[in-house]
Amino acid sequence: MFRILVCLALMFPALAVAQGMPGHQHGGMAATPTQPGQGAFAAIQEIVQILEADPATDWSKVNIEALRGHLIDMDNVTLHAVVKSEAVSGGMRFTASGSGAVRESIRRMVTAHAATMNGVDGWQFAAAGTAEGAALTVKAPAAEMAKLRGLGFIGVLTHGMHHQMHHLMIAQGGAPHG
């Protein structure tokens, strides 16, 4: 009897997974997974779906590999850069460093972000390369200094919700940084 109970207990998780698989009915509806399993993959999948849905897409200019490269840069900077922050007059300076591919990703991301966001909402951005990466100096209106300090380096890079359209521009073969 004990063996039967153990077997049944071990089977319940397998039955639950099977019911969630495509084509299996759950409550009268087919259950369909929605998560692609990895963030960069999901971002690329979303862009591909947008491009496929647009009859005006010029496939001769599409470059999904360029988008993949940009997402690698984002991953390197977000997860692998070492960042030091210091207050400067009217703002903050963030010095990001790394080696090899991380260093090159830092240089591309910081330079591009400064060029894209300089002047937006009264914030001033200046980028300078360093031996180990790049420095990003951000000056904000006095009323937003606490926000700037709270955002820190990575928060500043995400500020502005521009990345989604930026990704679409890269995938379409554009040069979103000028």
| H-helix or E-strand spanning residue 26 | strand 25-26
pLDDT, residue 12, reads 43
**CA proximity to 62, closest of 167, 159, 133:** 167
Q: What is the pTM of this model?
A: 0.76
Which candidate, 112, 103, 111, places its Cα nearest to that of 80? 103
Q: Is 60 exposed, middle or buried (0-12, 13-18, 19+ CB in 10 A)?
A: exposed
Q: Which residue, 140, 138, 145, 129, is CA-closest to 96?
A: 129
What is the CB neighbour count within 10 angstroms for residue 131?
6
Largest CA-CA distance found in the chain, in angstroms, rounded: 76
**What pLDDT digit, counting tens, does each position of 1-29 carry?**
444 433 434 444 444 444 444 444 555 66
pLDDT digits over 71-92, tens only?
Answer: 999 999 999 999 999 999 999 9
What is the pLDDT, as a whole number, of residue 126? 98
Identify which of 86, 99, 71 has the alpha carbon closest to the alpha carbon of residue 135: 86
Strand 91-97 versus strand 82-88 pairing type: antiparallel
Q: What is the pLDDT of residues 93-132, one digit of tens each?
A: 999 999 999 999 999 999 999 998 999 999 999 999 999 9
The kind and range of the H/E element at 120 are none
Average pLDDT, stretch 52-63?
Answer: 96
pLDDT score of 28: 61
Residue 160 structure tokens = 């502005």
170 vs 83: which has the higher pLDDT: 83
Residue 73 has a CB neighbour count (10 Å cut-off) of 19
